[in-house]
């Protein structure tokens, strides 16, 4: 069975600093990879996705992620964090043939002034 690991439960970043959130997956075939963001009390918003092609994908709100097959990773990055980026971030992988996702446990991002 596939799995997704987000090693960091919490991360604190200063406003204006760069951000990298880690995601590792376990899946035999070419994965479909996603990053979602969830603000407190809100639903999930898709930040970006990777299906195939260019391994560096751009998303909304200035986020990007890089797919590295050799490391089974899909890390999320942002060059300069804003206070409004404080939220919980979920990495997810598509499950073969059934149109559902397996999620990591999430990383809570705190932004300090």
Partner 1 sequence: NAGVTQTPKFQVLKTGQSMTLQCAQDMNHEYMSWYRQDPGMGLRLIHYSVGAGITDQGEVPNGYNVSRSTTEDFPLRLLSAAPSQTSVYFCASSYEGTGPYEQYFGPGTRLTVT
Positions that interact with partner 1 (CB under 8 A) = 4, 9, 32, 34, 42-44, 46, 49, 51, 90, 92, 94-95, 98-106
Identify which of residues 64 and 95 has a Cβ nearer to partner 1 in the complex: 95
CB environment 12-24: b (16+ within 10 A), e (fewer): ebeeeeebebbbb
Q: With respect to partner 1, which residue has the nearer C-beta, 15 or 24?
A: 24
Residue 71: CB minimum distance to partner 1, A: 21
Give first-to-last CA distance, the chain, whole Å.
Answer: 41
């Amino acid at each position: 069975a596939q799995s997704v690991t987000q090693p960091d439960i919490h991360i604190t970043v200063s406003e204006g600093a760069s951000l990298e959130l880690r995601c590792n997956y376990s899946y035999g075939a070419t994965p479909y990879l996603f990053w979602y963001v969830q603000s407190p009390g809100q639903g999930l918003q898709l930040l970006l996705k990777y299906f195939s092609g260019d391994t560096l994908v751009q998303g909304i709100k200035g986020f990007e992620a890089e797919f590295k097959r050799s490391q089974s990773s899909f890390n999320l990055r942002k060059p300069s964090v804003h206070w409004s980026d404080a939220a919980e971030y979920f990495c997810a992988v598509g499950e073969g043939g059934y149109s559902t996702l397996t999620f990591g446990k999430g990383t809570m991002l705190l932004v300090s002034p």
